[in-house]
Structure formats: structure tokens, C-alpha cells
Amino acid sequence: MSRSPKFTQQLQPQISGINPYVPGKPISELKRELNLVRVSKLASNENPLGASQKAKTAVQELIIDIASYPDGSAFELKKALASFLAVSDKQVSVGNGSNELLELVARIFAGKGDEIIFSQYAFAVYPISAQVVGATSVCVPALNWGHDLEAMLAAITEKTKVIYIANPNNPTGTLISVSEWEAFISQVPEHIIVVLDEAYFEFVQTGKTVNGLDYLAEYDNLLVSRTFSKAYGLASLRVGYMVGGEELIGYIEKVRMPFNVNQFAQVAAIAALNDPQFVKTVVSNNQAGMAQLTSFCQGLKLSFIPSYGNFVCIQVGPKALEINQALLALGVIVRPVSNYGLDEYLRVSIGSPKENQHFMDALTSILSQNQAGNNANH
């Protein structure tokens, strides 16, 4: 029984307008609902190869210690990251997923009346982070599905505090070029914080590409975030990191909650960093799967947004939500992106070759039935 709300007067006014983040449907839920045996989840950009065996072993060996608090300073993980990234350990902060760190930046630097800039079709966590602190979201129209960095520069006002950029972007998978990025970052006033979210950095296989770390020495206002959730396959453990100048990282360290990253996540992340071969295998599986899915789209004359991540947005047309339901009925979970304003698209994460095939078979059969239905109506 749901009661009528009692606390709306108590609520901070900005909270009621928040559109909560919509996660992909869990496999267990779909299996339960439809009594399905085989389910392929291609909805949350998770790692189809799981995680490094080294990371799993590290977690198993730690079970004995479950009653202890984690290392609150994440000393070993920060040290490992600092050496892996060739920065000082005072330049690294770790979070309960990189999402925690992205949101902390808004809390540290923005409040009521301030503005936070991000792009149309950008990651849903940015508007949520802005709204939680009562800041105004300035959503800049996209250019070819990606960031229009010139327009984002033009959107800067006296009230701008933070700019979020995802590169590659989720859900569209677009990539910023080095020249666009350099023109942008060199023109942002130096008191404005630029957050470069590189959650899909490891998947980018094109020649010359932006690596945010290369710009930290020159730009004190830059923060770069990455995660163990995608290429490393540790999404369940919740661990990501942010790299920047010592001053900005110091503020994040000040406001983060004690013990924000659990010990299983810390040991698994260290072990995962020590298994670069696993990430290589993940990336090549991703390239093969991306080729498999995009040539399938070309075959069916479905357009898609060229993607540099581990997912691709496919334009299935105005019936996207119906098609999504039909895919679910066949045991395939993908992500509708109408909440991002991409009504005709479905975002499909690259899976294992078998999972990709499951999706392609299901979509082919749904589209041919639709086609038959359309012909019958004529």
C-alpha cells in the first residue's frame, strides 16, 4: 500500500524534479518474469568476459577478513594506480564507482544559482549531480550525436562552475578529436573545473586520441575519471578513480566519506591492474563484436551511431519501445534510450559472440514479423 506523500514541504526544492537513473533490467528479473532459460544482457555495458582471474582470486582470499573495515586511505590501490598512470599518489582519488567522484565534483564546486554544462545525449549522472546540489543544468545541443565543444565554450557564463565531458560519450559512443579538445581546454577560463570522464578509454583503438592525463600538467582545472567497471569487468564491486592536480584531488579527499571503497574492490582493482593481458583480450573481443554488430546493421540497412565504446546505438525506428519489448520476450535485454531523447534507438552493449548472435537472431525475427505485419495491413 502506498501512502500519500507527507514530506514534500520538507524536501529541498531541487530534489522533486530529479529524473532518477534507469538501470538495465537484471537477468534474474527477466528470467523470473518470463520463465526464460537463456537471457543475454546487453544493456549495461558490462564486460562479457567477466573479470581477470587474478581479481577473482584476490576477492576470494579476502573473504576471511570480511569483518574488518577497508583501508580508508586506499593506500595500496592509490600507489598501484599512481605507478600505472605515472602520476603522484596525491593526484589520485578512488571512489565507489567513478560515479561517486563525478557527483562529488558537483557537490564541491556548485550550489544554488551556479551552472553546470554538459552535452545533449551525455551521461545521465551529470544532470542528476547538478540537480542534487541545486545547480542549473546547461545542456548544450549535440553536433553529430557528440559534444559540440565550440557551443559548450559559448555556453560558459559567470555562473559556470563545472563542465562534464564524456569521451567516448555514453550512450552515443562518439569521440572528440585531439584538435577539438585542445582548442576547447585552452579556452576554458582557468577557474572552471573541467571533468573529462574517460570510462571507456581502454576501448578506444583509433590512432591519435585524447588521453586526459597528458593535459594535467598544463591545466590545473582538469579532472580525469576512469573506472574498473567496464574494460576491467569489476562493475559489481564499484570502484573508479579520478586523477588531477594535488589541490583539486585534495578537495575530493576531504569530502569523500570514510571507507568509500570497500576492501574487495581495492584488492580486485590492484590485481586487475596486474593483468593487462585480460584487458587486451577484452578489447579485441569488443572490436570483433563491434564489427559483427555493425555489419549486421549494414546488412539490414539499419543506421547506427559509429561508436568508440563497448556499445552501439542502433536506429530501429519509431517502434523502438515495442521492439525492445519483443527483444525481452526473446530473452535479449538491451537499453532503450528514449530518456536521453534518442527515441528511435536502442543501445546495445557488445557481448560475447554468442550473445551478439542471440541479439541479431532476435532482432532479425522481430523485424521480419513487423515487415510481414506491415505488408498484411496494405
Ligand X SMILES: *Cc1c(COP(=O)(O)O)cnc(C)c1O
Of 114, 197, 202, 355, which lies in the binding site for ligand X, with binding defined by CB under 6 A? 197
Q: Quick one: residue 113, left, alpha or beta (phi over 0 = left, psi -120 to 50 = alpha)?
A: left
Q: How far is CA 80 from the centre of its chain?
A: 23
CB of 228 to ligand X, least distance (A): 7
Supply φ then ψ for residue 27, to 5 degrees: -55, -45
Does the footprint of ligand X cover residue 262 (CB under 6 A)?
no
Cβ nearer to ligand X, comparing 40 with 260: 260
Cβ nearer to ligand X, comparing 98 with 160: 98
Q: Between residue 23 and residue 62, which ones bind ligand X under the rule CB under 6 A?
A: 45
Does the footprint of ligand X cover residue 240 (CB under 6 A)?
yes
Does the footprint of ligand X cover residue 204 (CB under 6 A)?
no
Q: Strand, coil or helix: what is 367?
A: helix
Does the footprint of ligand X cover residue 199 (CB under 6 A)?
yes
Cβ nearer to ligand X, comparing 70 with 331: 70
**Cβ pair 32, 322 in contact under 8 A:** no
The residue among 337, 313, 286 whose CA lies nearest residue 21 is: 337
Supply φ then ψ for residue 281, to 5 degrees: -65, -40
DSSP symbol at 6: S
Does the footprint of ligand X cover residue 227 (CB under 6 A)?
yes
Does the footprint of ligand X cover residue 235 (CB under 6 A)?
yes
Binding mask 85-124 for ligand X (x = CB under 6 A): ------------xxx-----------------------x-
DSSP string over 59-111: HHHHGGGTTSPP-TT-HHHHHHHHHHHTS-GGGEEEESSHHHHHHHHHHHH--
DSSP string over 189-255: -TTSEEEEE-TTGGG--SSS---GGGGTTT-TTEEEEEESSSTT--GGG--EEEEE-HHHHHHHHHH
Does the footprint of ligand X cover residue 128 (CB under 6 A)?
no
Give how many residues touch ligand X by CB under 6 A.
Answer: 14
Does the footprint of ligand X cover residue 326 (CB under 6 A)?
no
* Candidates 3-11, 53-61, 223-231, 350-358; binding stretch for ligand X (CB under 6 A): 223-231
Of 119, 170, 174, 262, which lies in the binding site for ligand X, with binding defined by CB under 6 A? 170
Q: How far apart are CA 18 and CA 5, in angstroms?
A: 16
CB of 326 to ligand X, least distance (A): 26
Cβ nearer to ligand X, comparing 96 with 362: 96
CB of 27 to ligand X, least distance (A): 18
CB of 311 to ligand X, least distance (A): 9
DSSP symbol at 305: E
Residues that bind ligand X (CB under 6 A): 45, 97-99, 123, 166, 170, 197, 199, 227, 229-230, 235, 240
